[in-house]
């Protein structure tokens, strides 16, 4: 089973990879399946049923809008985020949509989109089912999909097996554990980023294509931060949360020029903690954009999308000699750690709580920063372990089902934690008591033991106590 770094870092739309990106991809896949099977012309109407966490927090996460856009043939990577709201509203008004972009069918979101809040499909909390009907109301085709985290979508045949779309691409240095990855590095003398680069070549990409793809991800992250610090206003949803990144940016003396976000001023010796304010800014900017349904990089999820960009901005602005080479090594090493979480545990908040999203992202960012700073593979594994060890048990309890409170601030704190983990690991020689494999296994087991009300259902924790107070 091969996973690419470009599977973990994808350019898409907020506010949620599991609840927005996944349902959009599933809906589009269903529409394409109708066309491929010759059923599109016979289809007169479509229905969509959302279950479990998708039903409980779907509206706050934009799942209803995502389903409409996906049925229209839109993709998270290509959808026009500025026109999306008007497109969905037109479907709501006309009760019709162009299925797969070509076939006009009946679709009234009020009756054809069913949130089954009291039902959960076996296999995963993020389940959905699509149905195509002919003019007599007879079912032509039905298919079940699961959004298993990070925008990954599988059908009911795959969800009980490897839980992600299988890719049998042979790789020169396959690994399924941190121990195997470290052993490969010891045997070959290669860094973690070099191992990942060699494996990326197996997908048929040249070094130039891989490098350009990684830098495109970095450009998208920078553009997201730029939008986040220049866009004022209130985030959508009933909480009426104000954007804080623009004000914080002004307080820090920042400004945006033609080349993008201006860097921090290092000339203020009076506040040694000023750098943490910049890290907070980067994370807030991304996650406020995400909460507004803007363009973000899934890293590895949307709910945790601010952590890797914040730490990568910290590397770029606070590290002497930082450049494109270090940025690429950062993303490759972070991707290697993300693969371990995806393969051996979960990056889905609906399945294991926020430890699987923010915790995984913090661990990935710590590893990436350590790699960019020239750490040994053992030190990088240590950095990743430290970051996750201190995110274990983190619940997912979004207030109002919105990716806003506590999600936005949580990204900022986890970014600082990632940097601390990397700095601590580089002070040692890589030897440590708890291995990354053991902490990943612990995260998985903790998620299994965690009560469902603390796993992206908005039925426990802050999601209920804030309202009660």
DSSP string, 239-306: T-PBP-HHHHHHHTT--EETTEEPPP-TT-TT-TTHHHHHHHHHHHHHHHHHHTT-EEEESS-STTTT
Query: Hey, is 398 helix, strand or coil?
Result: coil
Q: Report the candidate in 255, 240, 219 with the shortest Cα–Cα distance to residue 9.
A: 219
Q: What are phi and psi of 242, to 5 degrees?
A: -80, 145
Is residue 203 within 8 Å of 169, Cβ to Cβ? yes
- pLDDT per position as a tens digit, 267-289: 556 678 888 999 999 999 999 99
**What pLDDT, on a 0 to 100 scale, did the predictor assign at position 272?**
81
Is residue 34 within 8 Å of 100, Cβ to Cβ? yes
Average pLDDT over residues 338-345: 97
What are the E-state strand segments in 81-199? 96-99, 103-106, 113-116, 127-133, 139-147, 153-155
> Please, which pLDDT band fits residue 161 given cuts at 50, 70 and 90?
very low
- Helix (DSSP H) and strand (DSSP E) numbers for the chain: 20, 11
Question: Does position 256 have pLDDT exceeding 80, yes or no?
Answer: no
Give 465: exposed, middle or buried? Use CB within 10 Å, 0-12, 13-18, 19+.
exposed
- pLDDT per position as a tens digit, 373-394: 999 999 999 999 999 999 999 9
Give 96: exposed, middle or buried? Use CB within 10 Å, 0-12, 13-18, 19+.
middle
> Please, which pLDDT band fits residue 167 given cuts at 50, 70 and 90?
low
Q: What percent of the chain has pLDDT over 90?
A: 90
Instruction: Count CA within 13 A, CB hemisphere, residue 284.
Output: 21
Give 457: exposed, middle or buried? Use CB within 10 Å, 0-12, 13-18, 19+.
buried
Distance between start and end Cα atoms, the chain: 48
Question: Does position 111 have pLDDT exceeding 90, yes or no?
Answer: yes
> Please, which pLDDT band fits residue 260 given cuts at 50, 70 and 90?
low
> Please, which pLDDT band fits residue 261 given cuts at 50, 70 and 90?
low
Average pLDDT score over the chain: 93
Least confident segment among 7-11, 166-170, 240-244, 386-390? 166-170
Give 449: exposed, middle or buried? Use CB within 10 Å, 0-12, 13-18, 19+.
exposed
Percent of the chain that is helix, strand, coil (3-state, to 5)? 50, 10, 35
The residue that leads in pLDDT, 122 or 262, is 122
Which residues on adjacent β-strands are paired with residue 144? 129
Q: Report the candidate in 128, 100, 92 with the shortest Cα–Cα distance to residue 18.
A: 128
What span, in angstroms and rounded, lies between the C-alpha atoms of 12 and 27?
15
Which residues on adjacent β-strands are paired with residue 451? none
Average pLDDT over residues 450-463: 94
> Please, which pLDDT band fits residue 163 given cuts at 50, 70 and 90?
very low
What span, in angstroms and rounded, lies between the C-alpha atoms of 142 and 154?
15
Average pLDDT over residues 38-46: 97
**What pLDDT, on a 0 to 100 scale, did the predictor assign at position 119?**
95
- pLDDT per position as a tens digit, 406-426: 999 999 999 999 999 999 999
The residue that leads in pLDDT, 360 or 166, is 360
Average pLDDT over residues 359-363: 98
Q: How many other C-beta atoms are found inside a 10 Å radius of the C-beta of residue 85? A: 12
What span, in angstroms and rounded, lies between the C-alpha atoms of 273 and 293?
31
Question: Does position 467 have pLDDT exceeding 80, yes or no?
Answer: no
> Please, which pLDDT band fits residue 165 given cuts at 50, 70 and 90?
very low
**What pLDDT, on a 0 to 100 scale, did the predictor assign at position 164?**
47
Average pLDDT over residues 97-113: 96
Least confident segment among 168-172, 249-253, 412-416? 168-172
- pLDDT per position as a tens digit, 119-134: 999 989 999 999 999 9
Question: Does position 469 have pLDDT exceeding 50, yes or no?
Answer: no
Question: Does position 468 have pLDDT exceeding 50, yes or no?
Answer: no
The residue that leads in pLDDT, 246 or 467, is 246
Residue with tokens 């042979």: 170
Q: How many other C-beta atoms are found inside a 10 Å radius of the C-beta of residue 393? A: 16
- For residue 393, say if its preceding peptide bond is cis, omega within 30 degrees of 0: no
């Amino acid at each position: 089973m091969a996973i690419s770094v470009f599977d973990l870092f994808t350019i898409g739309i907020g506010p949620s990879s599991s609840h927005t990106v996944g349902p959009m991809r599933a809906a589009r896949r269903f529409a394409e399946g109708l066309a491929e099977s010759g059923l599109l012309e016979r289809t007169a109407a479509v229905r969509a049923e959302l279950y479990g966490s998708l039903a409980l927090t779907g509206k706050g996460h934009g799942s209803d809008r995502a389903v409409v856009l996906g049925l229209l043939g839109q993709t998270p990577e290509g959808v026009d985020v500025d026109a999306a709201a008007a497109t969905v509203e037109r479907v709501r008004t006309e009760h019709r949509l162009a299925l797969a972009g070509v076939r006009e069918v009946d679709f009234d979101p009020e009756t054809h989109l069913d949130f089954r809040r009291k039902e959960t499909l076996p296999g995963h909390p993020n389940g959905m089912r699509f149905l195509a009907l002919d003019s007599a109301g007879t079912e032509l085709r039905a298919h079940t999909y699961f959004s298993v985290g990070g925008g990954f979508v599988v059908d009911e045949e795959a969800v009980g097996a490897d839980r992600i779309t299988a890719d049998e691409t042979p790789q020169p240095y396959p690994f399924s554990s941190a121990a195997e990855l470290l052993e490969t590095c010891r045997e070959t003398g290669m860094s973690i980023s070099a191992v990942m680069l060699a494996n990326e070549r197996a997908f048929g990409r040249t070094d130039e294509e891989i490098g350009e793809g990684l830098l495109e991800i970095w450009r998208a992250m920078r553009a997201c931060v730029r939008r986040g610090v220049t866009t004022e206003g209130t985030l959508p949803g009933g909480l009426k949360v104000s954007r804080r990144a623009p004000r914080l940016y002004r307080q820090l003396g920042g400004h945006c020029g033609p080349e993008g976000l201006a860097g921090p001023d290092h000339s203020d010796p009076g506040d040694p903690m000023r750098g943490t304010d910049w890290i907070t800014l980067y994370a807030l900017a991304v996650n406020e954009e995400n909460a507004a349904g803007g363009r973000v990089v899934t890293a590895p999820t949307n709910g945790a999308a601010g952590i890797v960009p914040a730490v990568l901005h910290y590397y770029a602005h606070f590290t002497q000699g930082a450049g494109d080479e270090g940025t690429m090594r950062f993303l490759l090493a972070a991707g290697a750690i993300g693969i371990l979480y995806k393969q051996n545990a979960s990056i889905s908040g609906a399945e294991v709580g926020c430890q699987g999203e923010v915790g995984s992202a913090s661990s990935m960012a710590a590893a990436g920063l350590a790699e960019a700073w020239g750490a040994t593979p053992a030190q990088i594994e240590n950095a990743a372990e430290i970051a996750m060890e201190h995110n274990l048990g983190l619940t997912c309890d979004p207030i109002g089902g919105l990716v806003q409170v506590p999600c936005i601030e949580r990204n900022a704190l986890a970014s600082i934690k990632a940097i601390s983990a990397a700095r601590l690991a580089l002070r040692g020689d890589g030897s440590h008591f708890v291995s990354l494999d053991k902490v990943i296994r612990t995260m998985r087991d903790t998620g299994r033991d965690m009560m469902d009300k603390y796993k992206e259902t908005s039925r426990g924790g802050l999601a209920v106590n804030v309202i009660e107070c």
